[in-house]
Amino acid sequence: MVTAVHEGMHRIFQERPEILTPVFGVLGVPLPRKATVDAIATDVTETRPLERRVDTVLRVGPSDGEDFLLAIESQSRRDANKQSSWAYYVAYLQAKYDLPVLLLVVCQDAKTAKWAVGPFDCGTRGWTAQRTFPLVAGPHNMPVITDARTAGKNLALAALSAMAHARSPECDAILEAIDRALQELWETDPETAGYFYECLDVNLGDSPAGKKWKEIMSFVTYFPGRGTVRETAYLEGKAEGKAEGKAEGKVEGKAEGKAESILSVLKVRGIPVPDGVRKRITTCTDLDRLDAWMERSPLVAWAGELFTEDSDATE
């Protein structure tokens, strides 16, 4: 099951591809700063009974060489099944797109990172048919960024540093440096600052590092529908608003906040919202019904499906 934490780890690569150049530099793989990066479909299924999905697949077009695919996996522990599935991902993607493939595994503890470097062999009787060498980013090679100025110059790498060192004693200092950098950035670019505040909230979860990060968070959510600290604060603020102390005003404010979150989830997922659906969401004041729609919003295939379980569904 893909959790919010698991998903958040990969959104930073999909939405902030500038992280790739410094990460590749740490890993010893040259990649020019001028490169195109596009997310592609992650389904590597060939037959219906068997489903295989890579967490993230990017097509990288470096300015000084041929395009290649980068498959990214997040690994929290050793998993014997990965020996075959990682080899499958690389072979399948190469065959499908006729491009070279690199595999990057992101780990949050040294033990898992040590295992993930492989190599993973497929062969028998002294003969190796295939060998997989993943690139591994983890606490053993990601820099410990504790200077706010350094963090501000490369927020994506700083965020990955915090994720990789989430279980390390240095993580508190990393988070404090990122917070100082984001506070300064908030004055000029609140959307980017908000993205990284929320990205770390999602990725660090309920770990000690996550609890530390939650202590310094506020403002409006960037990852709607996840129940994060800033989303909760946002909805509670909507509930109180100008009508603080008035029950009717609180209900209307909270309903407005929930409606905005539902629409944000659909927007992020790329699901079109017809005018009729939008009107039904924004004019609803039934908080229980809005909660039900919010729970469905990350799962529905089309906007009208939000209402399929309502007793009076007409969409």
Query: What are residue 136's DSSP bridge partners?
Result: 105
User: How far is residue 263 CA from its own chain's centroid?
Assistant: 19
Q: HSE on the CB side for 193, CA within 13 Å?
A: 18
Mean pLDDT of 109-122: 90
- Quick check: is 224 in a domain? no
Same-domain status, 87 and 16: yes
pLDDT per position as a tens digit, 177-189 = 999 998 888 888 8
Q: What are phi and psi of 75, to 5 degrees?
A: -130, 120
Amino acid at 68: F
How many H helices and E strands in the chain? 13, 7
Hey, is 266 helix, strand or coil? helix
Predicted local distance difference test score (pLDDT) of residue 230: 52
Which among 26-40, 116-130, 242-256, 296-310 has the top mean pLDDT? 116-130
Place 114 in a pLDDT band, splitting at 50, 70 and 90: very high
Same-domain status, 9 and 132: yes
Residue 297 DSSP label: T
Q: Nearest-5° angle of CA 20, CA 221, CA 268?
A: 65
Which structural domain, as residue segments, surrounds residue 185? Answer: 148-219
d(CA 82, CA 75): 10
Place 243 in a pLDDT band, splitting at 50, 70 and 90: very low
Q: Is a pLDDT exceeding 70 seen at residue 290?
A: yes
Q: Is a pLDDT exceeding 70 seen at residue 79?
A: yes
Which ranges in 41-81 belong to alpha helices (H)? none
Place 201 in a pLDDT band, splitting at 50, 70 and 90: confident
CATH number at residue 82: 3.40.1350
Total domains in the chain come to 3
Q: HSE on the CB side for 140, CA within 13 Å?
A: 16
Answer yes or no: pTM beyond 0.75.
Answer: no
Paired tokens of 1: 């099951």
Biggest alpha carbon distance in the chain? 78
- Domain end marker among 137, 162, 177: 137
Q: What percent of the chain shows pLDDT beyond 90?
A: 15
- Quick check: is 298 in a domain? yes
Predicted local distance difference test score (pLDDT) of residue 47: 41
Predicted local distance difference test score (pLDDT) of residue 7: 53
Paired tokens of 310: 């309502």
Query: What are residue 37's DSSP bridge partners?
Result: 60
Place 226 in a pLDDT band, splitting at 50, 70 and 90: low
Q: What percent of the chain shows pLDDT beyond 70?
A: 74
- Quick check: is 99 in a domain? yes
